Amino acid sequence: MGALAERVATPLLPSDYVDLLSPLASSAELRGKVVGVLPETVDSATLIIKPGRTWKGHRPGQYIRVGVDINGVRRWRAYSLTSSPERPDGNLTITVKTIEEGLVSNHLVHRIRTGTVIQLDQATGDFTLGEQRRRKQLFVTAGSGITPVMGMLRGHSEDLEGSVLIHSAPTGRDVIFGRELRGIADEGRIELIEIHTDRAGMLNPANLAAMVPDLAEREIRACGPTGMLDSIEAHLETIGLAHRLRTERFRPAVVVTGEGGTIHFTVSDVNAQGDGATPILDVGEEAGVLMPSGCRMGICFGCVSRLREGAVRDLRTGEVTTATTGDEIQIQTCVSAAAGTCQIEL
């Protein structure tokens, strides 16, 4: 049957014709339909998405990649799932906070309409609790960093009783899911400590022990801006609790940039200038090359491609990788920039 369908549809695929009639029914591409947009705070909103037929489900704490067409160009970004896998209607949610000048976040919060079909990827990520969910937890979050934790609180509501959540936001009104979090705190299921940074200033990790007396007995999960995560990591290191900490970062910690060079994408036969600070992934996309990608921040390896010749720099460490003709060195394009002329097999 499948073979016959292929013969009928060639040079297209049978799924191309299925797409024509029902984009969510495709067995080849995972898509989703935005069925609702709920404002959360002034600068954030939750998107309710009905996933396509091939959606495999997720574990709380994981994220999905979302591809949206903005001004005709497809843009991919990662967003943590904020819904429970057991949601009765089978839909999933992501919650997006706008970033100043942010292309996709502003589109998703302010402009996307219900009914829009978007591209999705299966859930991934290991910022999950697994068996550890039976242990006592401390969650430290800030801003949009609440999202994966909200996913866990909703998805593992029974297991997480007794957890402590320290959440930072500029004011009480800026707390995403504020009402729901205060509700479960009032029921006594979790202890919620809100830090309103406009008045109280940023969280000082040195105060964690005072805020959470049984700190040493807890698993610690943190998600938020780079500065907060770095300072928590450093502090837990000094007090010997680093092994208890797991973090989720929304963007790579870029430390080094340098001279760039011309990037030759060998399969597409496209040349583009890489400026030494811009990831090869962005340079390629800008030049119209079909670039595989994932988290866009160096964790999922969805962007791995072959360096055939030349030099690239890892933006997180500054390490330069070189290849000479005949080599096929795997690099992550989302965190590598050109460090001179280079050839990428894409």
Partner 1 sequence: MTAIQKDPDNPIAHLSREDIEQIGRELDAIRQEVLDTRGEEDAAYIRGLIDTQRKLELGSRGVLLFSLFPPAWLVGTAGLTVAKILENMEIGHNVMHGQWDWMRDPKIHSTTWEWDNASPADLWKHSHNEIHHTYTNVIGKDHDLGYGIMRVDEDQRWVPFYLGQPAWNLINAFLFEYSIAAYDLQLKKNWKGRKENPEFQAKAKQVMKKIRTQMTKDYVVHPALSGPSAPTTLAANLTANLVRNLWTHSVIMCGHFPEGVATFEKKSIDGETHDDWYVRQMLGAANIKGSPAMHVMTGNLSFQIEHHLFPDLPSNRYQEISPKVRDIFERYDLPYAEGSLPGQVASAWKKVIRLSLPDDTLGKAKSLLGFGRKKKEADIHEIRPERLEARAA
Ligand X SMILES: Cc1cc2nc3c(=O)[nH]c(=O)nc-3n(C[C@H](O)[C@H](O)[C@H](O)COP(=O)(O)OP(=O)(O)OC[C@H]3O[C@@H](n4cnc5c(N)ncnc54)[C@H](O)[C@@H]3O)c2cc1C
Would you say the C-alpha torsion 135, 297, 80, 60 has a positive or negative sign?
A: negative
Q: Which residues contact 88 (CB under 8 A, 6 or more apart)?
A: none
Which of partner 1, ligand FES, ligand X, none does residue 268 bind to, with CB < 5 to 8 Å depending on kind?
A: partner 1
Report yes or no: 136 and 167 within 8 Å, Cβ to Cβ: no
Site string for ligand X, 154-193 (x = CB under 6 A): ----------------------------------------
Tell which one of 78, 152, 215, 323 touches ligand X (CB under 6 A): 78
Cα–Cα distances in angstroms (integers) from residue 191 to residues 124, 182, 185, 188, in the given order: 28, 9, 6, 7
User: Strand locations in 143-255, DSSP E?
Assistant: 163-169, 190-196, 219-223, 245-248
Check binding of 144 to ligand X (CB under 6 A): yes
Q: What HEC string does 240-257 produce?
A: CCHHHEEEECCCCCCCCC
Using rule CB under 6 A, residue 77 touches ligand X: yes
Min. distance of Cβ 332 from ligand X in angstroms? 13
Amino acid at position 258, single letter: G
User: Which residue among 67, 302, 310, 340 contacts ligand FES (CB under 6 A)?
Assistant: 302
Q: Which residues pair with 264 in a beta bridge?
A: 271, 343
Query: Which one of residues 332, 338, 339, 346 is an interface residue with ligand FES (CB under 6 A)?
Result: 332
CA angle 217, 221, 225 (to 5 degrees): 140
Asked whether position 336 contacts ligand FES by CB under 6 A, the answer is no
CA distances from 216 to 49, 207, 224, 242, 338 (A): 39, 13, 21, 10, 44
CB of 174 to ligand FES, least distance (A): 29
Give ∠ CA 210-214-219 in degrees, rounded to 5: 110
Region 149-178 residues binding ligand FES, contact defined as CB under 6 A: none
> Position 289: which residue type?
V
Closer residue to ligand FES (CB): 14 or 284: 284
Residue 105 half-sphere exposure, CB side, CA atoms within 13 Å? Answer: 14
Give the residue with the Cβ less far from ligand X, 6 or 126: 126
Asked if 250 is part of the footprint of ligand X (rule: CB under 6 A), the reply reads yes
Residue 301 binds: one of ligand FES, partner 1, ligand X, none (C-beta under 5 to 8 A by kind): ligand FES
Judged by the rule CB under 8 A, the positions of this chain that interact with partner 1 are 4, 7-8, 10-12, 16-17, 20, 69, 71-75, 267-268, 285, 288-290
143: contact with ligand FES by CB under 6 A: no
| Residues at the interface with ligand FES (CB under 6 A) | 293-296, 298-303, 332, 334
| Residues at the interface with ligand X (CB under 6 A) | 63, 77-80, 94-97, 99, 101-105, 125, 144, 147, 250-251, 295, 297
